Structure 1
Amino acid sequence: MRRAILPLVALLLASCGGGAPIDAAQQRLLDRMRQAGATDLAAARSADGGMSVGGRLAGREFGVAVPATWNGGVVLFANGYSTPGTPVGMPPDPIAGDHSGGFLTAAYRDGFAVGESAYDKWGIGVKSAVANTMRLRGWFGKVGAKRFYISGGSMGGNITLALIEKYPDAFSGAMAACGVTAGWEEEIAHLVDLRAAYNYFTRGTDYALPGDPDITRNGVSPIPPAGLGFARPLWLYWQMRRMAAPIAALFKAARADPHGREAKMVARIASVADADADPASFAFPILTAMLGMDDMRESFGGLVYGNRDKHYASPLLDAAETEALNRDIQRNDADPAAVAFARQWYRPTGRFHTPLVGVHNPHDGLVFADQATMLRKRVIAAGNQARLFQLWAPSQQKDIPTTGLTGWAHCGFTPRQAGMLWTTLNRWVETGQRPADGRY
């Protein structure tokens, strides 16, 4: 009985969407969407006369928005990393909550349809994200789209590079913002080195992290134990607060006494791990590793990064301190099969044919700026500079939840900057003229 009712509910939603009824042309477009293979469609007419549509393709949720005057172009967006334990769903209107920070909204205003697909899993999901985004692209082609752009932020920047390198003819232009554009070995190395250095220098102090100190595993669980009755969001919030508390206390003490013990601890951790001495640049990577290492190991089939042979050093340490650090810091080995999988999904080569606009902040609290510089080096090595245009956007300080501190934002871009990125990419594709290098 329930299965018989659901199509009727979807039809009613498609007819009214909770707002003004869709018009005849939009109903015909909705019919084409259904004929192209979408199910569970629910449409809503937007205040600007366009239409948002949520549904499923091969069981995966998607959301698209089609402007009132559609030019036949489509801009897709690849979402970033989601903390294990959080929902995998997709909102039906990609404009209302614009995960791109304004990139999709700018494209929509220029007459482009925009869309996103859910991934198969939380955490690291590059392989399924590539498959699901290409499925959405193919479906849009059956609906009548003529030209495609791809964009993504954070993990979505890695997905964007995977798409344009694996499918060189699928997209006319691409944009990667604050992305893992060098690869997962490099990104996870930052997470592991920072967590290991933090553990070493705070061992036995009030600033030590809670939970399991093993850098190869989660420090705490992102999912509440069965039977405790915790809702997942509340549990995850509590765990994040637990982990952030000692980091915040360390930075507050360091700032209270710039020449004291805590200030020296912060400086040494940052120097050894090659990180900014900034609370967000400590908290975001460490929390990601403590909540996500089990998922990373499962997703890649083992440990992607090993520090067994790494020599840790810092100009802030003398010879005896350096020897003690390298003797006592936790060591681990990478799994060759996991490294191979991570390179397949995905370590960019710099050899792509699609015009790519890349943007990063010089200080990013989670995906460090060397991801952008490493991509540029690979592009230059491949002789492919003509297809890459990189920008550096001013770094932004933002509040760190539950701590009372501010720090470098991850993906710190304004809607205006996101709109400029779209205009820059679209003009490049339309005119064939690569933009001039610079900042904005």
Structure 2
Amino acid sequence: MRIRRVTAVIAGLTMVVAGLSAPARASAAGTVTHVEGVLGSGAAYVFDVPETWNGTLLLYSHGYTPKGAPNPAQNAPSAGARETLLGQGYALIGSSYADTGWVLEQALPDQIATLNVFGARFGKARRTLAWGTSMGGMITTGLLERYSGRFVGGLAMCGLEQGGVANWNNTLDPLFALRTLLLPGSDLPLVRLGNQANAFASAGVLNSALAQAQTTAVGRARTALAAALHNIPAWTDPALPEPAPRDYETAQRNQAKALGTTIYVGLSWREEAESRAGGNMSWNTGVDYRRMLARSSLREEVTALYRAAGVSLDDDLRALARAPRITADPRAVAYIARNLSFTGRLRDPLMTIHTTGDALVPVQVQRAYREAVRSPELLRQAFVHRAGHCTFTDGEMLAALRALERRVGSGHWSGTSPEALNAVAGSTAYVRYWPAPYPRPFTVGAR
């Protein structure tokens, strides 16, 4: 459908507003008014407002978009969720953010500006909920911590709930282990990369070493140790069957594939974030990798694979302890702490959901936030037993949203047990689960 473009000035804001198509389409709640536009920052936004609006506004925050990739505005995690919610009378809004990459500095104000434009056009919502997926789950948590007066609650799905500093610290750990154990004596750059060409060069060397390691039992054991420092789960691909509890060879094979993504994120995405932060934002000075392994959910797997390979785990842990460490640039750490790490101060209810088999953002991030939060009665966490990152069904996401709404409406949590969530979702995947400790927690004001 063609959209007529017009220019308008919203009081107090410098915005370029795209015209709307009205009605855009029909829904169970009547016709839907569809609005697209551009904020003064350059971020695009999109609104969908049903004719019979129930007064609840949902602000959606989307996930990470690599530098230079298409970056449209999004107002729902899926087409199915969008149509269901519009049919039930919810208004849906969201922005693209002004840039791509580690765009936390721009994302939060762009989302608040999107709220402001919506209010100027459609009036004040009866209640506003924030929700988002992946980096958007992180943004959702940041919005609740920093703009609590604008929301009554939030739903963070598969979010980076450990915050930015902890994320980059723990993304460094498996790469440091791979370099130390598979490329002994190498000074291959892992930080302060300078440009994408350098990032991809380091990634190529590490991926070649990882592939070679898969050809020997010793190499596979060392790969499992690197995976354990990031808590990469045994089941990482929802298209494959879950490995049996002690099928460590299959688990390690899955983890090795996932480490390829970890290498890409830990170098290419890191370089982009370093360019914003003005230096290296992570460190492993003072880190005890032996202790980290002892706390890892993969400890038994690593021990078994080292025993089967006939190689000393103690020797490799000593090699990690002796290896020259990486220091951070304080200004870069401060930038990432601002954009974005968490204080744990909530004033409104937050519900989080996470898959147990998430290799990109391992489920232990939820433990990190739970241990940081100052008002635990405001937080509820639920877990879906499935491989993959953000691999929820529409029903599972909407069931969590309903539970959050009940908390907002009643003042107390109900219907958050796996059985209750599954009944609403039409699923069997919500389970009782307690994540292992996050390897390297970080909250603002503590190092």
TM-score normalized with structure 2 length: 0.73
Q: CA deviation at 1:374?
A: 1.2
Match of 2:403 among 424, 435, 438: 424
Counterpart of 2:259 in structure 1 is 282
Counterpart of 1:323 in structure 2 is 318
Q: CA deviation at 1:31?
A: 10
Q: How far, CA to CA, are the matches of 1:222 and 1:41 in structure 2?
A: 41
Q: How far, CA to CA, are the matches of 2:313 and 2:209 in structure 1?
A: 25
Q: How far, CA to CA, are the matches of 1:364 and 1:324 in structure 2?
A: 29
Match of 1:361 among 350, 355, 358: 355
Q: CA deviation at 1:268?
A: 2.7
Q: CA deviation at 1:326?
A: 2.7
Instruction: Confirm whether residue 57 of structure 1 aligns to residue 39 of structure 2.
Output: yes
Counterpart of 1:213 in structure 2 is 188
Instruction: Confirm whether residue 196 of structure 1 aligns to residue 176 of structure 2.
Output: yes
Deviation sequence 1:6-51 (CA, Å, 0-9, x none): xxxx9x7239xxxxxxxxxxxxxx9999789552335361243313
Instruction: Confirm whether residue 264 of structure 1 aligns to residue 242 of structure 2.
Output: no
Q: CA deviation at 1:62?
A: 0.7
Match of 1:14 among 4, 20, 24: 4
User: Any runs of at least 4 consecutive aligned residues in structure 1 with deviations exceeding 6 A, and if so which?
Assistant: 30-36, 239-245
Counterpart of 2:64 in structure 1 is 81
Counterpart of 1:182 in structure 2 is 162
Q: CA deviation at 1:289?
A: 1.5
Counterpart of 1:160 in structure 2 is 140
Q: What stretches of structure 2 of length at least 5 have no aligned partner?
A: 234-251, 294-302, 307-311, 419-429, 431-447
State the AA in 2 paired with 1:324: A
Match of 1:120 among 89, 98, 103: 98
Match of 2:281 among 287, 304, 325: 304
Change (3 A) 1:386 1:64: same
Q: CA deviation at 1:125?
A: 1.1
Q: CA deviation at 1:131?
A: 0.4
Contact 1:243 1:287 in 2 (8 A): no
Q: Size of the alignment, in residue pairs? A: 372
Q: How far, CA to CA, are the matches of 1:389 and 1:432 in structure 2?
A: 13
Change (3 A) 1:319 1:389: closer
Contact 2:137 2:158 in 1 (8 A): yes
Change (3 A) 1:242 1:42: farther
Contact 1:184 1:347 in 2 (8 A): yes
Match of 1:134 among 93, 112, 127: 112
Q: CA deviation at 1:359?
A: 0.8
State the AA in 2 paired with 1:120: A
State the AA in 2 paired with 1:176: A
Change (3 A) 1:109 1:245: farther
Counterpart of 1:395 in structure 2 is 386
Q: How far, CA to CA, are the matches of 1:243 and 1:109 in structure 2?
A: 51
Q: What stretches of structure 1 of length at least 5 have no aligned partner?
A: 1-9, 16-29, 225-235, 397-408
Q: How far, CA to CA, are the matches of 2:204 and 2:92 in structure 1?
A: 38
Q: How far, CA to CA, are the matches of 1:172 and 1:247 in structure 2?
A: 49
Deviation sequence 1:236-279 (CA, Å, 0-9, x none): 9xx9996897488468x46xx8xx34432322322344433424
What is the root-mean-square deviation of aligned Cα atoms in Å? 3.5
State the AA in 2 paired with 1:394: H
Contact 1:83 1:291 in 2 (8 A): no
Q: CA deviation at 1:133?
A: 0.3
Change (3 A) 1:128 1:107: same
Q: How far, CA to CA, are the matches of 1:341 and 1:73 in structure 2?
A: 34
Q: How far, CA to CA, are the matches of 2:266 and 2:132 in structure 1?
A: 22
Deviation sequence 1:63-116 (CA, Å, 0-9, x none): 12112322232101111111223233426xx4xxx4358554443232111111
SS of the residue corresponding to residue 393 of structure 1 reads: strand
Instruction: Confirm whether residue 335 of structure 1 aligns to residue 312 of structure 2.
Output: no
Q: CA deviation at 1:189?
A: 1.6
Q: How far, CA to CA, are the matches of 1:150 and 1:200 in structure 2?
A: 42
Q: CA deviation at 1:135?
A: 0.4
Contact 1:194 1:269 in 2 (8 A): yes
TM-score normalized with structure 1 length: 0.74
Q: How far, CA to CA, are the matches of 1:243 and 1:41 in structure 2?
A: 50
SS of the residue corresponding to residue 407 of structure 2 reads: helix
Q: How far, CA to CA, are the matches of 1:182 and 1:356 in structure 2?
A: 15
Change (3 A) 1:100 1:159: farther
Q: CA deviation at 1:364?
A: 1.1
Q: CA deviation at 1:220?
A: 7.8
Q: How far, CA to CA, are the matches of 1:421 and 1:335 in structure 2?
A: 39
